Amino acid sequence: MTMKLLKKSIIFTALLATVVLGSCGDDPTGPTEGEGDWLEYTVDDFTFEWLVEDSSNTIRVKITAPSTGWVAVGFDPTLVMNEANLIIGYVSGGSVNIRDDFGTGQFSHDADTNLGGTNDVETISGSESGTNVETTLEFRIPLDSGDQYDKALVDGNTYTFIFAYGNNDADDYTSAHAWAESASFEL
**CATH annotation of 3-186:** 2.60.40.1210
How confident is the model at residue 29, as a pLDDT?
44
Q: pTM of the full predicted structure? A: 0.81
Q: Are 26 and 52 in contact (CB under 8 A)?
A: no
pLDDT tens for the chain, 187 residues long, are 444 433 433 333 333 323 333 333 333 444 444 445 899 999 999 999 999 998 889 999 999 999 999 999 999 999 999 999 999 999 999 999 999 999 999 999 999 999 999 999 999 999 999 888 999 999 999 999 999 999 999 999 999 999 999 999 999 999 999 999 999 999 8
Residue 13, pLDDT score: 31
Distance between terminal CA atoms of the chain?
A: 17
Are 100 and 122 within 8 A, CB to CB?
no
Q: What's the rounded Cα separation, in Å, for the pair 128 and 3?
A: 36
pLDDT of residue 24: 35
β-strand partners of 5 = none
Q: What is the pLDDT of residue 54?
A: 83
